[in-house]
Structure 1
Amino acid sequence: MWYNNILETIGNTPLVKLNRITKDIKATVLAKIETVNPGNSIKDRMALQMIEDAEREGLLKPGGTIIEGTSGNTGMGLAIAAVIKGYKCIFTTTDKQSKEKIDALRAFGAEVIVCPTNVEPEDPRSYYSVSSRLQKEVPNSWKANQYDNLSNSKANYLKTGPEIWAQTEGKITHFVAGVGTGGTISGAGKYLKEKNPDIKIWGIDTYGSVFKKYKETGLFDKDEIYPYITEGIGEDFLPQNVDFAVVDHFEKVTDKDAALMTREIARKEGIFAGNSTGATIAGLLQMKDQLKEDDVVVIVVHDHGTRYLAKMYNEDWLRERGFLKDEKLTARAILSGREPQEIVTIDADKTVLEAINAIKILNISQIPVTQMSKVVGKITESDILSSLLENPSLKSAKVQDIMTKPFPFVDLNTSIDKISSLINKDNTAVLVEDDYGKLEIITQFDIISAMSV
């Protein structure tokens, strides 16, 4: 058996029991593995549904351009369908999104415009506003509008919900999913409640989003809105696809808990999942006391971990945000473990001969070069040697004439692995500012000394 094209492989994703990460939960927890869709996310379902509905309604015509504001996953689904169906794509996204997501969209031939995150939705710079403007300006274009296009919920009502009901043989008691556009939880949740009104639908929200308070009070509180790191869930407005009557409860999860849980899923279950799945499982664990032994919980694995390699799966990224303890040596640990030392610098206007004398007297091999108290370059023994071999008269020249690029700067939380990767034949050290703004230098010898303690 074969499929006529890749779009026919969307859906019918497996349901997999979680074991180690949910060991403290009495209920059976099953994960709907949406990463096996061709675009590696659940958004493939609604992307295809939106396109096919638009085609039927005459809104999307042959050779047209699909425009959408997307964090990446919906764009991927739309881009894949566009390749098969012969459409062009222009996507707007935010600077919060991972580079992997943006690169993936461009791999399918889409044009991607990156917009600022921390602006109001009505701001002309927001990715919502830019996509709306493009839809008016680009001839023969159609905006998918995943937030308010009810084909989003429809896709999950027609396919995701029925799949879960059949796969659990109707035994499901709880459905848990991250809520962004709202299409997954509202569509699948509506179907499941029609089959059994007692099924609980739990939505996972994030701090900085309006969903939870709106559900509980009916008030849209702008004070709830502030920047957050978690990707794929939460919003600063109310999408039409979020059916608050379907969702029984919203649970908020912190950025830190979501990020760390994302990593744990891979390490404990062998499932390479994205950030919103980490938030979903973290939220479920927060609500574990509400579950009984005979409950059957289905959670959604929304997208794939490959889109978060530079973020949740990067230890330096986690340390920079204070999410990860210093299990490995860091710049801070290296500095605290060595004897106090004064860093030697040389002004860019000094002569090369003065630099040679400093290197001799102090028995050092490299010196950061400063100008107006700022590091602007470096000078090393090899820099001096190669320059003098070419032109011996350069002894009287200024240091700035032969200096090379400055040593890389790192922060105090940078791991020893990252520091080591930055030290090479061109960079024999790195620079770091301590907690008081004092400049420090870390050399290869410092790293070896720290590791040998």
Structure 2
Amino acid sequence: GNTPLIRINRIAEQEGLKCELLVKCEFFNAGGSVKDRIARRMIEEAERSGRLKPGDIIIEPTSGNTGIGLALACAIKGYRCIIVMPEKMSQEKVDVLRALGAEIIRTPNEAAFDSTESHIGVANRLNRELPNSHILDQYSNPNNPLAHYDGTAEEILEQCDGKIDMLVAGAGTGGTITGIARKLKEKVPGITIVGADPEGSILAQPEQLNETSVTGYQVEGIGYDFIPRVLDRSVIDKWVKTNDRDSFTYSRRMIRDEGLLCGGSSGSAMSAAIEAARDLKEGQRCVVILPDSIRNYMTKFLNDDWMFDRGEWTSLPVTSMPQKFPMTLDPDVTCHHATEILKREGFDQMPVVGPKGGVLGMVTEGNLMSSLLKRRVKQTDPVAKVLYKSFKQVPTTATLGQISRLLDREPYVLVVSEQRCFVNSNEATMRQTIFSIVTRIDLLNYIMTHAPSDRASDADAAATSGSNKIAV
């Protein structure tokens, strides 16, 4: 509890929001997520009622974070802890659970919630077989939303001095958004509660929002194929359907631009918030719940190869990136002048082109300075003497996936196009023209901020069919 409320600056400005955008950083809890709150509350209430006794076993079906919170409490209190979780949940969660002494059972991702093979079904079977075992059951336990009604919501009200116009949170079990929403609606008349639900889940309302060809998603901790008992959808005013691409993009943007080491479902919530908060005006305030940290996803969306392997942007052509036609150098420019030009223009490297436009090589600031300092060339020598002639170039038809693989080994890639140049009324030759230079930073910046999202396509489709991706 008592997690910080932090203002989002860069992303809010980049997205053109007029309102104040704040995030509640639940990953500052001891176990690294918002689920610490319910784990403590459920265990303490079970102890208080006499249901839970020393030496008992706690079993919980979970996507991981509730399990970590429970395992943390069990490690302190001495209970045996068994966690049942789907295969798609990250290895990092498994490692943390094992370190805390929990026993882990994995279940198939595709198993329906009411299947005996699902994480819920397996947990129920273990509960029947093991004496003195208990499923505290975050999906139906009233202490799940009460932990947020009594705790998280009160903290938000205090931190905002009671001034809040919109609250955005992802929905998994629904306890977080339900508990917070109930308290805020009591204390702040007119507040708007927005729920984020991934495509492939069925929690959103109206039901047509859930119509999709998507059958699965990589974001962890939110969305379900059933309606949990603790989720009170009547307190949610709007739903925004999110997708993996936007979720992971916004998570990485928050890490890079705001310094917030948050997880994938935090990106889902921020994606929904950016969409919904466009309705807010200057002077209004939107609070977004960030459920967990990057700790659980170091080998997932934080990893470039993992992202590219899922095909999120690999098929996009390099021409989809903003066109930045590079400056070039003539091969006869002196090393002294080349140094001045690079410094003045703020470039680390520049192509050197011949009289007919062909790329002769690349000159880099580092190689140029090294050659001058070691007296391999004089300042009056032409820059052609210090060229890197080994460099990678691709046509404008190359994809971002191809570019990314080259950038694993190269500091930059030259994108070139061919043009017909007539030398007389009948004859034409092909001449090379530099389209752009792409560095790894350029590619990552584009992926984070400019890659078209599934939501844009869905919005276009919705506009055609008369439906909308945000529902009141």
TM-score, normalization by structure 1 = 0.68
Task: Give me the whole-angstrom Cα distance separating, in 1, the residues matched to 2:297 and 2:406.
Answer: 22
1:142 aligns with 2:134: yes
Paired residue for 1:87?
Answer: 79
Paired residue for 1:273?
Answer: 262
Query: Once the 2 structures are TM-superposed, how far is the Cα of residue 288 of structure 1 from its aligned partner?
Result: 3.3
Task: Give me the whole-angstrom Cα distance separating, in 2, the residues matched to 1:274 and 1:220.
Answer: 25
Task: Give me the whole-angstrom Cα distance separating, in 1, the residues matched to 2:248 and 2:67.
Answer: 23
Query: Once the 2 structures are TM-superposed, how far is the Cα of residue 144 of structure 1 from its aligned partner?
Result: 1.7
Relative distance call for 1:224 and 1:86 in structure 2 (3 A) is: farther
| Paired residue type of 2:60 | E
1:133 aligns with 2:125: yes
Paired residue for 1:245?
Answer: 234
Q: Contact 1:260–1:323 (CA<8 Å) still a contact in 2?
A: no
1:316 aligns with 2:302: no
Q: Contact 1:211–1:234 (CA<8 Å) still a contact in 2?
A: yes
Task: Give me the whole-angstrom Cα distance separating, in 2, the residues matched to 1:242 and 1:82.
Answer: 26
Relative distance call for 1:260 and 1:149 in structure 2 (3 A) is: same
Q: Contact 1:161–1:188 (CA<8 Å) still a contact in 2?
A: yes
Query: Once the 2 structures are TM-superposed, how far is the Cα of residue 70 of structure 1 from its aligned partner?
Result: 1.0
Query: What aligned pairs does 1:2-151 form with structure 2 within 5 A after superposition?
Result: 11-23=1-13, 24-151=16-143
Q: Contact 1:41–1:302 (CA<8 Å) still a contact in 2?
A: yes
Query: Once the 2 structures are TM-superposed, how far is the Cα of residue 241 of structure 1 from its aligned partner?
Result: 1.3
Q: Secondary structure at the match of 1:93?
A: strand
Relative distance call for 1:202 and 1:413 in structure 2 (3 A) is: same
Q: Secondary structure at the match of 2:182?
A: helix
Q: Secondary structure at the match of 2:168?
A: strand
| Paired residue type of 1:250 | W
Paired residue for 1:162?
Answer: 154
Query: Once the 2 structures are TM-superposed, how far is the Cα of residue 290 of structure 1 from its aligned partner?
Result: 1.1
| Paired residue type of 1:168 | C
Q: Contact 1:320–1:414 (CA<8 Å) still a contact in 2?
A: no
1:291 aligns with 2:283: no
| Paired residue type of 2:47 | E
- Which consecutive segments of 4 or more residues in structure 1 shift more than 6 A? 219-225, 411-414, 417-420
Query: Once the 2 structures are TM-superposed, how far is the Cα of residue 417 of structure 1 from its aligned partner?
Result: 7.5
2:250 to 261, 279, 295: 261
Query: Once the 2 structures are TM-superposed, how far is the Cα of residue 324 of structure 1 from its aligned partner?
Result: 3.8
Relative distance call for 1:220 and 1:171 in structure 2 (3 A) is: closer
1:216 aligns with 2:206: yes
Task: Give me the whole-angstrom Cα distance separating, in 2, the residues matched to 1:248 and 1:100.
Answer: 35
Q: Contact 1:316–1:415 (CA<8 Å) still a contact in 2?
A: no
| Paired residue type of 2:128 | K
Task: Give me the whole-angstrom Cα distance separating, in 2, the residues matched to 1:224 and 1:46.
Answer: 33
Task: Give me the whole-angstrom Cα distance separating, in 2, the residues matched to 1:140 and 1:116.
Answer: 27
Query: Once the 2 structures are TM-superposed, how far is the Cα of residue 33 of structure 1 from its aligned partner?
Result: 1.1
Query: What aligned pairs does 1:371-410 form with structure 2 within 5 A after superposition?
Result: none
Q: Contact 1:210–1:224 (CA<8 Å) still a contact in 2?
A: no
| Paired residue type of 2:190 | D
TM-score, normalization by structure 2 = 0.66
Query: Once the 2 structures are TM-superposed, how far is the Cα of residue 277 of structure 1 from its aligned partner?
Result: 0.5
Deviations 1:104-131 (A, max 9, x none): 1111000111110112112221111001
Q: Secondary structure at the match of 2:206?
A: helix
Q: Contact 2:199–2:212 (CA<8 Å) still a contact in 1?
A: no
How many matched pairs?
327
Relative distance call for 1:125 and 1:414 in structure 2 (3 A) is: farther
Q: Contact 2:170–2:265 (CA<8 Å) still a contact in 1?
A: yes
| Paired residue type of 2:103 | E
Paired residue for 1:207?
Answer: 199
Q: Contact 2:314–2:402 (CA<8 Å) still a contact in 1?
A: no
Relative distance call for 1:66 and 1:413 in structure 2 (3 A) is: farther
Task: Give me the whole-angstrom Cα distance separating, in 1, the residues matched to 2:402 and 2:29.
Answer: 41
Gaps of 5+ in 1: 1-10, 330-410, 421-450
Q: Contact 2:29–2:36 (CA<8 Å) still a contact in 1?
A: yes
Relative distance call for 1:322 and 1:65 in structure 2 (3 A) is: same
Q: Contact 2:199–2:210 (CA<8 Å) still a contact in 1?
A: no
Task: Give me the whole-angstrom Cα distance separating, in 1, the residues matched to 2:99 and 2:223.
Answer: 27
Task: Give me the whole-angstrom Cα distance separating, in 1, the residues matched to 2:209 and 2:408.
Answer: 44
Relative distance call for 1:104 and 1:221 in structure 2 (3 A) is: same
Paired residue for 1:194?
Answer: 186
Deviations 1:250-272 (A, max 9, x none): 10111111111111110000000
Paired residue for 2:172?
Answer: 180
Q: Contact 2:201–2:210 (CA<8 Å) still a contact in 1?
A: no
| Cα root mean square deviation, aligned | 2.5
Paired residue for 2:220?
Answer: 231
Deviations 1:161-218 (A, max 9, x none): 1110011000011111111011110001100100022111101111001111xx225x
Q: Contact 2:83–2:104 (CA<8 Å) still a contact in 1?
A: yes
| Paired residue type of 2:11 | I
Relative distance call for 1:223 and 1:170 in structure 2 (3 A) is: same
Query: Once the 2 structures are TM-superposed, how far is the Cα of residue 419 of structure 1 from its aligned partner?
Result: 8.3
Deviations 1:404-451 (A, max 9, x none): xxxxxxx9798458789xxxxxxxxxxxxxxxxxxxxxxxxxxxxxx9
Task: Give me the whole-angstrom Cα distance separating, in 2, the residues matched to 1:417 and 1:40.
Answer: 34
